[in-house]
Amino acid sequence: MERATTISDMIQIEDRLSSLRYQIEFYEAQLKNLERSITYATINISISPSQKPLEWPSINPTAWIRDGVSLALNVISMIIIALIGLTPIIALVGASWIVYTRLLRRKIPQLKVKSGE
């Protein structure tokens, strides 16, 4: 400022100083944000050996057989329940089939007679 000879020089120097102050404040704010994010990004990991040794699965054929029989009985009971639930539909389809075949048998002889004339 002491070397400035005109007002325009003073204004340019003031603008340059203001710009430098803004950049310094910007970098300081950015540095603070980075320091805060470093604080929040701390990760602690602790690794320790397992307290309990690994065990092999037990082999129990009687349990396998028991589970298999239980599963088979469940499947059979579900099939029976499904058949009981579907009985009305099965009866309706069966009755429709019987009616259809009887009507078809009645019409077939009539068709032969008409075509033979």
- Chunked in runs of 10, what are the mean pLDDT values of the chain (117 residues)? 75 88 94 78 77 80 92 95 91 92 75 52
Can you give the pLDDT at residue 117?
Answer: 47
For the chain, the three-class secondary structure string (H helix, E strand, C coil) is: CCCCCCHHHHHHHHHHHHHHHHHHHHHHHHHHHHHHHHHHCCCCCCCCCCCCCCCCCCCCHHHHHHHHHHHHHHHHHHHHHHHHHHHHHHHHHHHHHHHHHHHHHHHHHHHHHHHHC
Can you give the pLDDT at residue 78?
Answer: 95
**10 CB-near residues (< 8 Å, 6+ apart):** 1, 4
34 part of a folded domain: yes
56 part of a folded domain: no
The residue range of the domain holding 112 is 86-117
In Å, how far from its chain's centre is CA 49? 33
* Number of compact structural domains in the chain: 2
Last residue of a domain, one of 9, 25, 42: 42
68 part of a folded domain: no
Can you give the pLDDT at residue 67?
Answer: 93
